[in-house]
Chains A and B, each alone.
Chain A
Amino acid sequence: MSNAVEARALSKTYRHSGGTTDALSGVDLTIPTGRVYGMIGRNGAGKTTFVRIGATQLALTSGSMSVLGYDVMTETSKVRARIAAVPQESRPLYFLNVFELIYLYLTIRGTEARDARKRTEAVLAELGLADSRKRLVSHLSGGMRRRAMVAMVLASDADVLFLDEPTTGLDPIARREVWTAIRRAIRDGRTVLLTTHYLDEAEALSSRLALLDGGRVLLEGTPTEIRERVRQPFRLVVSGVLGRAELEPFGSVSTVEGGYLVFAKEAPARELAQLALSKGARVSLGPVTLEDIFLQVVGKAIDADDVPAEAAE
């Protein structure tokens, strides 16, 4: 089996009192096994809907999706035997301590008690939770609770892990610890489908990425492939001396704190850099970041939230 998840013409329409909302429209995606696959997009882009269909929590409207070759709608029990998920905004049961949360999740899934204990101890150590093992989760910070949830599924024997914004609310150090654990999961040959708002996280962890907006896949590929497909693959930040009118012939210009951000093709980018230096302006030149790509493709920053409430996932 070479693919962990395959979606073909996948669509999902939510019905509500105000009418219908298309959360996914004809999505085709292939997610290979043994990798982290990143899914990025703003609120309402369709990420969570995609993950929930794959995790067998939500029915699709049309098209198909399979996980490890099994259809999510007709071979559900076979899918469920091989997956684990951390849903968006999920929280641990407040009356358990950290050890119990992970250990009981594993035993309820069917893991033998001795193996569950071993796995729990290992993941507690790996995610820096060993010192908090006896603490009630209700006494933990929001970040630590989230880490405990991630620890829970990482400790499982599932082959495909659906992590829906797993690091939201974590501090940078905690995020790195979760990243380390996700990388370990990949070393074990598992597949992780990761949705995130953090573009640096998507880029740092994912071997392939899909950029979703309005229920459609706008870009898909490795981070390098995605960069190559962008119309203006270089970014320059120019401060001082040069005005907007002088910059516009070189590419797309937007205002940033202390200067201008210019997206440009390679030749104009070099030309503009030389011009700026010759006139004594401060300039930095480099390849576009994932955030820049998002801005170019979608036309809005990833944290811009103008999605109507009924379309929110």
Chain B
Amino acid sequence: MTERHRLRSVLWLAYMNGIVPMRTQPLYLLSILASPLSFLFFVTVASGGTLFLYGIAGGMLLTVLSVGTSLQTDMSHYRTDLKFQDVIVASPVEAPVYVVGIALSELIYSLPGIAVFIALGAWEAPVALVGAVTIFAVLLMVWALATALGFTLATFFADVRETFVFSSLVSLGLTVLPPVYYPISAIPASVRWLAYLSPTTYAAMLMQGAFGLQHLTFSSQVIDWAVLILSSLALLSIAALKARWRDP
């Protein structure tokens, strides 16, 4: 395959799995928003409105992280139930093209959800250009991280039902324990180290910094970016090395 063919295949895959289902079943879009909006509502009500912006930043992160969960479920379903992955394996389409295509489709599918949070954020507290670029870069990095994790996990399941168990655990580890919807200072100091084990903690702090909710020193920004980039690269490497394209 030439680079042009690879790019075309990625875009056709993204169209097939992102645009077509949106057109066929628009109600699915609401499901993307259900969890982030529920968290936003809960956090806002519980904090008397003081954590509303945290909820916006968290909502964006959760929406992009859900790309990983959706990808994991779709990949498992396509591999084990529909055997669609086997159809693609027996074709010129390479594994990275397939993964990027499906990952892009999930991102496209989550775009309306992200747009809602961007609109809410712009209405409540518009961010400067640097902040907007930071938010975009963080979301892009989290997308890569979620994609790598979703694909790696999906290739090891024999049944799509197993993915539901892992999806819940991954959600717990990536979105509930880390301070995605609240400041890290809200976590008791004795267990705060647990939050630092999750790469999304660093993404959340960068997002909160971009929204002007936290003051981040230069050194803490460097550390946050370094952890986020390294953990994304590590997960992408694991995905490239360990994921199964041909069954053993």
- Check A277 for interface membership: any CB of B closer than 8 A: no
Give the residues from 71 to 101 in chain B that come closer than 8 angstroms, CB to CB, to chain A: 78, 81-84, 86-94, 101
Choose from B25, B84, B86, B92 the contact partner of A81 (Cβ within 8 Å). B92
Closest CB pairs A-B (n = 10): A90-B83, A85-B90, A55-B90, A87-B83, A87-B86, A107-B12, A110-B5, A95-B24, A95-B21, A81-B92
**Closest residue on chain A to residue B81 by CB atoms:** A91
- Check B63 for interface membership: any CB of A closer than 8 A: no
Given A95-B21, A104-B12, is A58 in contact with B246 using a C-beta cutoff of 8 Å?
Answer: yes
Q: How far does the alpha carbon of A80 sit from the alpha carbon of B5 in the complex, in Å?
A: 15
- Check B13 for interface membership: any CB of A closer than 8 A: yes
Q: In the bound complex, do residue A87 and residue B12 qualify as a contact, i.e. CB atoms below 8 Å apart?
A: no
**Closest residue on chain B to residue A15 by CB atoms:** B248
A-B contact pairs, 13 of them (CB 8 A): A57-B86, A57-B246, A87-B86, A88-B83, A90-B83, A90-B84, A90-B87, A91-B82, A95-B20, A104-B20, A108-B88, A110-B92, A156-B91
**Closest residue on chain B to residue A86 by CB atoms:** B87
- Give every chain B residue within 8 A of A70 (Cβ-Cβ): none
- Check A162 for interface membership: any CB of B closer than 8 A: yes
**Closest residue on chain A to residue B9 by CB atoms:** A108
- Check A256 for interface membership: any CB of B closer than 8 A: no
Give the residues from 125 to 156 in chain B that come closer than 8 angstroms, CB to CB, to chain A: none
**A interface residue numbers (CB < 8 A to B):** 52, 55-59, 76-77, 80-81, 83-93, 95-96, 100, 104-105, 107-110, 136, 152-153, 156, 158, 162
Q: In the bound complex, do residue B24 and residue A109 qualify as a contact, i.e. CB atoms below 8 Å apart?
A: no
- Shortest beta-carbon distance, A186 to chain B, in Å? 19
Q: How far does the alpha carbon of A105 sit from the alpha carbon of B94 in the complex, in Å?
A: 14
- Give every chain B residue within 8 A of A95 (Cβ-Cβ): 20-21, 24-25
**Closest residue on chain A to residue B24 by CB atoms:** A95
- Give every chain B residue within 8 A of A59 (Cβ-Cβ): 246-248
Q: How far does the alpha carbon of A156 sit from the alpha carbon of B82 in the complex, in Å?
A: 20
- Give every chain A residue within 8 A of B1 (Cβ-Cβ): 81, 110
Q: In the bound complex, do residue A55 and residue B93 qualify as a contact, i.e. CB atoms below 8 Å apart?
A: no
- Give every chain B residue within 8 A of A93 (Cβ-Cβ): 16-17, 78, 82, 84
- Give every chain B residue within 8 A of A89 (Cβ-Cβ): 83
- Check B215 for interface membership: any CB of A closer than 8 A: no
Q: In the bound complex, do residue A96 and residue B90 qualify as a contact, i.e. CB atoms below 8 Å apart?
A: no
Taking A105-B87, A108-B16 as given, write out 14 further A-B residue pairs in contact, using a Cβ cutoff of 8 Å, ordered by the A residue number.
Answer: A55-B89, A56-B90, A57-B90, A77-B92, A81-B92, A90-B84, A91-B81, A93-B16, A93-B17, A104-B15, A104-B16, A108-B93, A108-B101, A156-B91
Choose from A52, A83, A90 the contact partner of B91 (Cβ within 8 Å). A83
**Closest residue on chain A to residue B2 by CB atoms:** A110
Q: In the bound complex, do residue B89 and residue A77 qualify as a contact, i.e. CB atoms below 8 Å apart?
A: no
**Closest residue on chain A to residue B89 by CB atoms:** A57
Q: How far does the alpha carbon of A162 sit from the alpha carbon of B8 in the complex, in Å?
A: 25
Q: Which of A88, A108, A136, A162 has the most CB of B within 10 A?
A: A108
**Closest residue on chain B to residue A162 by CB atoms:** B90
Q: How far does the alpha carbon of A90 sit from the alpha carbon of B83 in the complex, in Å?
A: 5
Choose from A52, A92, A100 the contact partner of B82 (Cβ within 8 Å). A92
Choose from A57, A76, A88, A96 the contact partner of B16 (Cβ within 8 Å). A96
Given A90-B82, A92-B82, A110-B1, is A56 in contact with B89 using a C-beta cutoff of 8 Å?
Answer: yes
- Shortest beta-carbon distance, A115 to chain B, in Å? 13
- Give every chain A residue within 8 A of B87 (Cβ-Cβ): 84-87, 90, 105, 152-153
Q: How far does the alpha carbon of A153 sit from the alpha carbon of B8 in the complex, in Å?
A: 19
Q: In the bound complex, do residue A85 and residue B12 qualify as a contact, i.e. CB atoms below 8 Å apart?
A: no
Q: How far does the alpha carbon of A162 sit from the alpha carbon of B246 in the complex, in Å?
A: 16
**Closest residue on chain A to residue B85 by CB atoms:** A57
Q: How far does the alpha carbon of A136 sit from the alpha carbon of B20 in the complex, in Å?
A: 11
Q: Which of A83, A107, A110 has the most CB of B within 10 A?
A: A110
**Closest residue on chain A to residue B13 by CB atoms:** A108
Q: How far does the alpha carbon of A77 sit from the alpha carbon of B94 in the complex, in Å?
A: 8
Give the residues from 194 to 248 in chain B that come closer than 8 angstroms, CB to CB, to chain A: 246-248
Q: In the bound complex, do residue A136 and residue B91 qualify as a contact, i.e. CB atoms below 8 Å apart?
A: no
Q: How far does the alpha carbon of A81 sit from the alpha carbon of B91 in the complex, in Å?
A: 6
Q: In the bound complex, do residue A136 and residue B24 qualify as a contact, i.e. CB atoms below 8 Å apart?
A: yes
Q: How far does the alpha carbon of A52 sit from the alpha carbon of B89 in the complex, in Å?
A: 10
- Give every chain A residue within 8 A of B16 (Cβ-Cβ): 93, 96, 100, 104, 108
Q: How far does the alpha carbon of A104 sit from the alpha carbon of B82 in the complex, in Å?
A: 16
Per-residue CB contact flags for chain B residues 1-33 toward chain A (1 = under 8 Å, else 0) read 100010011001101110011001100000000
